Amino acid sequence: MIGVIVTIALGTRYDAEVLRAAAAGSRARFEGLPGLCSKTYMLDPARREARNLYLWQNEEAAREFFTAECLEHIANVYGATPKLEIIEVAEQVVNS
């Protein structure tokens, strides 16, 4: 499994209510997306950042999703260039 952490530094544009609404509004786009195991929307008010954690079945699926066009779309939505970190997931615990 591969994780991708997308960090968007928003500075003075940080607004938790707007970010929560954007997350709720985009949720349907990711439900059932091939290769995506999960997506978690996160907020860091101290750093004034939005972070999203994607868990993918494999690196190929992650790289197919995060195209130049996708990154441009993220930058346009948030008004800031996203930073991507691709990491290997060693283990995952899911409590339901």
- What pLDDT, on a 0 to 100 scale, did the predictor assign at position 96? 82
DSSP 8-class letter at 89: -
Q: Could you tell me the pTM of the whole model?
A: 0.92
Q: Find out whether 34 and 61 touch, Cβ atoms under 8 Å.
A: yes
Region 53-81: what's the mean pLDDT? 95
The distance of Cα 62 from the centroid of its chain, to the nearest Å, equals: 11
Model confidence at 95: pLDDT above 90: yes
User: Which pLDDT tens digit goes with each residue over 27-45?
Assistant: 999 999 999 999 999 999 9
- Give residue limits of the domains in the chain: 2-88
The domain 2-88: what is its CATH number? 3.30.70.100
For residue 67, give Cα distances in angstroms to 23, 42, 51, 64, 87. Answer: 20, 22, 18, 6, 17
Using CA atoms, how far apart are residues 55 and 86, in angstroms rounded to an integer? 10
Region 7-33: what's the mean pLDDT? 96
Tokens of 13: 């544009």
